[in-house]
A and B are shown apart, each in its own frame.
Chain A
Amino acid sequence: MSQELNHELNYDHVLIRYGELALKGKNRKLFENQLQENIRSQLKDLNVKLRKTHGRLYLDLQGESFETVHERLKHIFGISSYSPALKTSLELKAIQETALKAIRSHSPFPKTFKVSTKRANKHFPHTSQEMNHKVGAHVLIHTDNLKVDVHKPEVELMVEIREDAAYIMSQKFKGAGGLPVGTSGKVMLMLSGGIDSPVAGYLCLKRGLRFEGVHFHSFPFTSERAKQKVIDLSKQLSHYAGPVTLHIVPFTEIQTEIKKHVPDEYSITIMRRMMMRITEALAKKHKALGIATGESVGQVASQTLESMHTINEVTNYPVLRPLVTMDKVEIIDIAQRIGTYDISILPYEDCCTVFQPKNPKTKPDRLAASRLEERLDVEELVKQAVENTETLRVTYEEQEKETIDHLF
């Protein structure tokens, strides 16, 4: 797969492959349609055309630069690979010349190459084999120090013969893989503002899940800046997800109640159980079938297996933990790659230290937690929190229409 882009050529098309979807029947249709829709929505500000033929997508650039499209395509899940292409007429000479132009644009100039022709157009006078020879020979005659290597060529010249035209490609870029966002249903993602939860959201997207963010906000124990941080994280994730729905749950009262009635060592456990209940209620309300978190085993006190066991008691919704077996280093690596890391490390309290117990229980148990919760009006607290939840829609595209915009 190519890493570097050739700037020499003016590509007019991009061929997008999603063969690895390995799907059958009705599902395949669904996936293809969702993928098309996702690509269109990520490119909607550009003057490009997307068509589907023969299990491929063709993007007609109509004058847009490949670089611009490249920057966006690489983040769209469900694409296995894509290639910038040059369109030519079905004349042999034109195909040969374009193939030569394509290989000449490679820098440094390759030592080995091969030609692979696909002939969807069966009326074309030459077979694929013949075309491989004819194009290969033409390239060999007009270049120096180039050899054919059919096993491990540095450059593979791909020639596609279609009904109306031929397409020549010489580069293949790796797509983001995974499944198109929206093909696997929806989860509620608990977004704290830390490093892990945005990564968990990203990995859900990778498997085709949509998510709606849920953030617990305890003003004044946590500041407006902490909330802004979660909005910024959602904005960054919208590069991969499209517009993100974000639920801001007022949590001050619940935390105050817990502080008042629950011994310190159990406060985190009970707090997490309350969060779970509220998230499940929001999931019901917004028709999501699961809950996703950024938990990873053993990372902090509330993420031991005992802790998860105790916290999970309050919901029978599937709780997805995409990071469950990852090391912090691996998580940070992904966070940096997807651009959430720098936002996450801004030093604002998310889970307020005011309530941070000195010795949180690393091995809480269900029975003790349930008993302690009897001191709270759990149902009413959850109901109040859900009712007063503020819902925003966040996207990177539109600059927020804020009062400060006109100053710039």
Chain B
Amino acid sequence: MAVYLDNSATTQVAPEIQQTLMEVVANYYGNPSSLHRIGGEAEKLMARAREVAARFLGVKPDELFFTSGGTESNNLALKGAAFQYQSRGKHIITTQIEHAAVYQVCKALERDFGFDVTYLPVDHNGVVSVQDVEKALREDTILVSVMHVNNELGSVQPVEAIGRLLKKRPKVLFHVDHVQGVGKVPLDIKGSGIDLLSISGHKIHAPKGTGLLYVREGIRLYPLLHGGGQEEGLRSGTENVPGIVALAKAIRLAKENEAQHIGHLLKLKQILLEGLADIPGVYINTPLDKRITAPHIVNLSCPGIKPEVLVHALEEKEIYVSTTSACSSRKDQVSRTLEAIGLEGPRLHSPLRVSLSIYNTVEDIQYFLQTLRDILPHYQKIMRV
């Protein structure tokens, strides 16, 4: 019986979404652009998917553009806005703890296209300050990009407040990477002055390769993919119909049961935190203040023990966690996010991330805690911690 605790890396596809996928793959093979009935049926499915997703996100259907996932949505938002509006200015504001799909895009815009990027620091809780955003604003600022929930720590950024601040600056676009927030931390997209927002399917129990970008009405972006003019010309390429339907269903399931899911995750997280507090040599990196953290991520350190060793030791017991973010866990480098909150020394070099989903149970958490209690002393002894 596998205990999967790496849900910020990816999630299992929900059974009812698997059902949908199979059926759409089998019965709706048409190209939505085709004129005939088979194409028409596929197009109808897509239109319905757009409606469903829009309804549950509280936006308009024609403000949603389907992409291949979070990375593409972030690239399209940042490059699309940068290239479209560079005549207005070339200054972008973001944070030091963004996901690589935002951070590396900013680096590339700086390096290869002459943009000027300000990377705002965060406090020891991993939260950026609204005042810092305000101070960083310049005449030539065209875009601010701040993630909603940090994928490593689970810290929640004050995006509503930043949105309110930016309402006074209509020329500055506001992008939010909402990938880790959907269904876990409620966000009023329309009410927060957000112009662009990224969502990924595989973090909410839809398959990989699905996602969307919300683009507020009236905003133009320069496309990354030119071609057949699908998605209003913003994202050419034959649409992934099964993935799009699955994504819409995943959004519905996440939003319809949001309160209940959050309740369940908070309960598990509480048990996890209380259990970890009693294990010697374990330090919690995730902030404990409930108002600024997501209910599904706990980041901890076991100083002196290589985190990869613990990942594999737990794997032997059929427990699956990650070191930091899945994306950087294969590179031998320290986490930007943990550096940004001021961690150093052994604690910086030994992080583990436990991330939950609605499919986890109280027993999963208890088994994980028991296993950690069992194996940790053994490795601490070997490493002379």
The chain A residues found within 8 Å of chain B, CB to CB, are 223-225, 228, 342, 404, 407-408
Given contacts A223-B35, A342-B62, contact A407 B23 (CB under 8 A): yes
Min distance, Cβ B232 to any Cβ of chain A, angstroms: 12
Going nearest first, the 8 A-B pairs with the smallest beta carbon separation are A407-B20, A408-B52, A408-B249, A407-B245, A225-B40, A224-B40, A404-B45, A408-B248
Min distance, Cβ B257 to any Cβ of chain A, angstroms: 15
Q: What is the predominant secondary structure among interface residues of chain B facing chain A?
A: helix
Given contacts A223-B35, A224-B37, contact A404 B248 (CB under 8 A): no
Cβ of B48 < 8 Å from any Cβ of A? yes
The chain B residues found within 8 Å of chain A, CB to CB, are 20, 23-24, 35, 37, 40, 43-45, 48-49, 52, 62, 245, 248-249, 252
- Cβ contact within 8 Å between A404 and B40: no
- Chain A residues with CB under 8 Å of B35's CB are 223
- Cβ contact within 8 Å between A407 and B24: yes
Taken together as a complex, chains A and B put the C-alpha atoms of A223 and B245 apart, in Å, by: 24
- Cβ contact within 8 Å between A404 and B48: yes
- Chain B residues with CB under 8 Å of A225's CB are 40, 43
- Chain A residues with CB under 8 Å of B62's CB are 342
- Cβ contact within 8 Å between A408 and B245: yes
Taken together as a complex, chains A and B put the C-alpha atoms of A342 and B232 apart, in Å, by: 13
- Inter-chain contact total with CB atoms closer than 8 Å: 25
Given contacts A223-B35, A224-B37, A342-B62, contact A408 B252 (CB under 8 A): yes
7 interchain pairs, CB-CB under 8 A: A228-B44, A404-B48, A407-B45, A407-B245, A408-B52, A408-B249, A408-B252
- Cβ contact within 8 Å between B48 and A408: yes
Known: A408-B20, A408-B48. 13 other contacts (CB 8 A): A223-B35, A223-B40, A224-B37, A224-B40, A225-B40, A225-B43, A342-B62, A404-B44, A404-B45, A407-B24, A407-B245, A408-B248, A408-B249
- Chain A residues with CB under 8 Å of B252's CB are 408
Taken together as a complex, chains A and B put the C-alpha atoms of A408 and B50 apart, in Å, by: 11
Min distance, Cβ B365 to any Cβ of chain A, angstroms: 32
Closest residue of chain A to B60, judged by CB?
A: A342
Centre residue among B44, B62, B252 by max chain A CB count within 10 A:
B44
Within the complex, which residue of B40, B43, B44, B49 is in contact with A408, where a contact is CB–CB below 8 Å? B49
Min distance, Cβ A5 to any Cβ of chain B, angstroms: 13
Taken together as a complex, chains A and B put the C-alpha atoms of A404 and B249 apart, in Å, by: 12
Taken together as a complex, chains A and B put the C-alpha atoms of A404 and B23 apart, in Å, by: 10
- Chain B residues with CB under 8 Å of A404's CB are 44-45, 48
Min distance, Cβ B215 to any Cβ of chain A, angstroms: 15
Closest residue of chain B to A232, judged by CB?
A: B47
Taken together as a complex, chains A and B put the C-alpha atoms of A251 and B52 apart, in Å, by: 34
Min distance, Cβ B78 to any Cβ of chain A, angstroms: 28
- Chain B residues with CB under 8 Å of A228's CB are 44
Closest residue of chain A to B53, judged by CB?
A: A408
- Chain A residues with CB under 8 Å of B48's CB are 404, 408
- Chain B residues with CB under 8 Å of A408's CB are 20, 48-49, 52, 245, 248-249, 252
